[in-house]
Chain A
Amino acid sequence: MDLSSHDHGLPDDGAGADGLGLAELAEEVGVADPVTIAGLATRGGPVPGVRPVMAPVGIVSIRADEMTVRCGAGTPVSELDDALAAVGQSVAIPPTGTVGGALAVGHSGLRRLGYGPIRDTVLQVRYVSAAGEVVTAGGPTVKNVSGFDLCRLLVGSRGTLGFLAEVILRTRPRARYEQWFTSTADPWDLVATLYRPTSVLWDGERTLVLLEGDRRDVDDQARLLGLSPADPPGSLPTGGRWSLPPNELQRLPPTGRFVAEIGVGIVHHEHPPPDRQVDPAVSELHRRIKQRFDPTGRLNPGVSVLDGVG
């Protein structure tokens, strides 16, 4: 691993380098038969009964002064997080499974309110296409508008358009101080009053708030709003992951245990999410995109990103 922070080893973040065996993955994916991608099976795992392949594992480089990290998509998030912690940084990816699995599913973590969505962390991807070729999308720098944004297309695409092989991600400085608090105040008052809280969770009675930054600022905010220090949240209901416009959390149905991400709109619920409708024009765009990226439907066969949507 290259932990250097200055002027050497840079071409590694440009095009071409293949220290991780991307070509081998491309060969394994091949061109003909159905194939699925496997990781640590924390998010449902590979498609049963289909030949599995695995993405490369390992960190290629951490560049603290660029705030970027380049790693194989098969790298466990915990391994990435440990390595980034050593340089005082982190990445806004939820803390289980592999980097590629987290990106393919596209669900953000509990700190989305402060850190932004997972889709914004991706700067460059190399993926293996249905034609068994390594495709590069995006670029290695923190800012880039060169060409159409295939990185955004791939985040949340569940391996239906290509298998993530290697990514360059935007990192962020670890906060100098963080503390969870609890409060019985109205969570909407809290989210409106606090300056950029990292997380505000509400279970219908109690609110948990995560504040980060300079300790004096955190303490001042807590004092001002009467927050009491608390442990981090425990386990969340896993019956359904609801995605609602943030204001609709004020009108959640009264049944079932839930933890709602206030200001974000995600509800971790005991019950499955309400049915959703997709506009026919949007479905048609999905069909056309899939048809062009995977005409024979060989990548993660049977998986549809619109599953369970009306």
Chain B
Amino acid sequence: MSTGPSSALFDDLRAVLDTDRVRTGATELGLYRKDASNMEGTTSVVCLPRTTDEVAGCVRAAVRHGVPFVARGSGTGLAGGAVPLDGAVVIVTSKMDRVLSVDRVARTAWVEPGVLNLDLSRQVAHLGLHFAPDPSSQQTCSIGGNVANNAGGPHCLAEGVTASHVLAVEVVLPDGTVTVLGGEDPEPPGYDLRGVFVGSEGMFGIATRICVRLVPDPPAIRTLLLDFLDVDDGARTVSDIIAAGMVPAAVEMMDQLCLEAVEGYIHAGLPVDAAVALLVEVVGLPHGVEADVERITRIARERGVRDIRIAADETERALLWKGRKSAFGAIARIKPNYYLHDTVVPRSRLPAVLAQVYEIAARHQLLVLNVFHAGDGNLHPLLVFDKREPGVMERVHAAGEEIVRASVAAGGVLSGEHGIGLEKRDLMGLMFGPVDLAAQAALRDAFDPAGMANPRKVLPSGSACGDLQAVPEGAWI
């Protein structure tokens, strides 16, 4: 396998793209060796295609030279999914950033993979439509990346994650063939290859055009901030709301350390002395929304809520959401670095698992902030630290692994929306046995028998035929 620069490969790539869209400079290679995780790989060339044919040409050139390739959108992935291994050719889709068509009757759009998540919603806002998945990185993450990771976001509680919003994908398969998986019709013939492609983390090919569903903006919206003096009461309120037969558009939780950090950052009048606050959004037709607000208020009172703040207008609503979505930026006020996990636990286990998260962090002498999608049990514990402190990374990794293990032991899963990538690859055995992993490896093998698309991600070594591993720098194993 070639891992060094290859002038023949570069020549072939330059025949596909203009010379200036095949980059081999040290600075750029350095940038594309990593994503938003703390892992790094190696690459000798970065390609910036503008069309499906160009993507296919890059894939064919890489494969012809026996070099693997990795697709990359905005590089906001947190699990190392876009980190190039084995000197893979990096194929960046960010120049493919056009919304190709919008059908306001069918409420669908065909988009290129480099379109940014929030840009899509902005471009269809005048039609009263939006793209439902809304990761916190939505200003910078791309739809192609959302497809690769099956991205979520606060509003996926009621609307479902990306897989529920993708109808069809034009893909370049790992041998360079172009085809369309799924379709604009509701029941395309055959296996749901669209469904398996979404969330395949770049290992089944590269999405070059995506047909997404757009959902209508709700006629009525109410956004509530509920604060509690006890973490348990807040967490139990979440379960009670769901058990009462409501699915709010979003149920987010922020703990005290997070509230403090965010308040210092955006001054939204957040209850900084509360143990936790819930941000609950109810949408729909007006009477149903008001009825839900009343029921949620009653449930929260039964759980000892201290204060209920209902956003009076769109400005206040936007401010509350800004508080939630800027949590990650605000954290820099506490410590320069953070490590974010993404496990999911059954809602009823939130109180117990949160208590474990605090205990684990304390035992490893780390600060932890919790800001997460409580409605679907999707934890986001942020371990904050200063990586210049000697020995801190070991403690961060040890605490992280304990949190993941505690979540799975509580009947949960490794990742709710960030994906497995490189980061959690070697923990897949916590959820799946050898037979289960072999079935996933068989599916990957059907799409990519030669193993050229983003190799050595997601599945631990030995899942299928046992490919040998080199441990990349920063990998959490």
**B-binding residues in A (CB < 8 A):** 5-7, 10-11, 13-15, 63-67, 88-89, 106-108, 112, 116-117, 119-120, 129, 133-137, 139-150, 152-153, 155-157, 161, 172-174, 176, 188, 192, 195-196, 213-214, 216-217, 220-221, 241, 243-247, 261, 264-266, 276, 278-279, 281-282, 285-286, 288-289, 291-293, 305-306, 309
- What is the CB-to-nearest-CB distance from A148 to chain B, in angstroms, rounded to a whole number? 4
The one of B344, B376, B440 in contact with A147, judged by C-beta atoms closer than 8 angstroms, is B440
CB distance from A70 to the nearest CB of B (A): 11
A-facing residues in B282-307 (Cβ within 8 Å): 284-288, 291
Contact assessment for B415 and A144 in the assembled complex, using a CB-CB cutoff below 8 Å = yes
Contact status B420-A146, CB under 8 Å: yes
User: With A120-B164, A195-B218, A266-B186 given, is the CB distance from A148 to B458 under 8 Å?
Assistant: yes
In the complex the two chains form, is B218's CB within 8 Å of A112's CB?
Answer: no
- Cα of A107 to Cα of B189 in the assembled complex, Å: 11
Which of chain A's residues have a CB closer than 8 A to the CB of B180?
A: 279, 282
Chain A residues with CB under 8 A of B344: 139, 141-144
Asked if B76 CB lies within 8 Å of chain A CBs, one says: no
Least distance between A132 CB and chain B CB atoms (Å): 11
A110 to B199, CA, bound (A): 28
- The A-B contact count (CB < 8 A) is 259
Contact for A309 among B189, B345, B436, B449, CB less than 8 A: B189
Question: Does residue B447 face the partner (Cβ distance < 8 Å to A)?
Answer: yes
Q: Give the residue of B164, B199, B435, B442 whose beta carbon is less than 8 angstroms from that of A292.
A: B442
Instruction: Please state if A146 and B413 are interface contacts (CB–CB under 8 Å).
Output: yes
Q: Are A143 and B164 in contact (CB under 8 A)?
A: no
Question: Which of A143, A147, A196 interacts with B156 by CB under 8 Å?
Answer: A143
Establish whether residues B411 and A10, one from each chain, have CB atoms under 8 Å apart when the complex forms. Answer: yes
Judge if B471 is at the interface, Cβ distance under 8 Å. Answer: no
* Contact residue among A66, A174, A282, A291 (Cβ-Cβ distance under 8 Å from B348): A66
Would you give the 0/1 interface string for B343-356, flagging 1 where the beta carbon is closer than 8 Å to chain A? 01111110010000
Chain B residues whose CB sits within 8 angstroms of the CB of A152 once the complex forms: 163, 192, 195-196, 198
Instruction: Give the interface residue-count category, chain B.
Output: 35 or more
Closest residue of A by beta carbon distance from B288: A214
A/B interface sample: 16 pairs, CB < 8 A: A6-B239, A66-B348, A119-B195, A141-B411, A143-B152, A143-B377, A146-B428, A148-B443, A152-B196, A153-B191, A161-B191, A214-B291, A264-B186, A278-B190, A281-B173, A285-B193
Task: Report the separation of the CA atoms of residues A93 and B433 in the bound assembly, to the nearest whole angstrom.
Answer: 29
Say yes or no: is B312 at the interface (Cβ < 8 Å to chain A): no
Question: What residues of B have a CB within 8 angstroms of the CB of A245 in the complex?
Answer: 106, 183-185
Q: B216 touching A196 by the CB < 8 A rule?
A: yes
* CB <8 Å contact, A217 and B287: yes
- B185, B195, B439 pick with most chain A CB within 10 angstroms: B439
Q: CB distance B431 to A244 under 8 Å? A: no
- Residue of A129, A188, A214 near B105 (CB, 8 A) is A188
Chain A's interface: helix, strand, loop or mixed, by majority? loop
User: Which residues in B have their C-beta under 8 angstroms from that of A136?
Assistant: 432-433, 436
Query: Quick one: given A65-B347, A214-B287, A217-B285, are A247 and B428 in contact (CB under 8 Å)?
Result: no
Contacts of B288 in A (CB 8 A): 213-214, 217
Q: Bound state CA distance, A143 and B157, in angstroms?
A: 9
CB proximity of B328 to chain A, nearest CB, Å:
19
The list of the 8 closest CB pairs from A to B, nearest first, reads: A152-B195, A217-B285, A214-B288, A65-B243, A173-B245, A281-B179, A139-B413, A216-B287
A173–B432 Cα distance when bound, in Å, is: 30
Q: A153-B191, A281-B179 are in contact. List 16 more A-B contacts (CB 8 A).
A: A65-B242, A66-B346, A67-B247, A143-B344, A146-B414, A146-B420, A146-B424, A146-B431, A153-B195, A155-B192, A156-B191, A245-B184, A246-B105, A265-B186, A282-B179, A285-B447
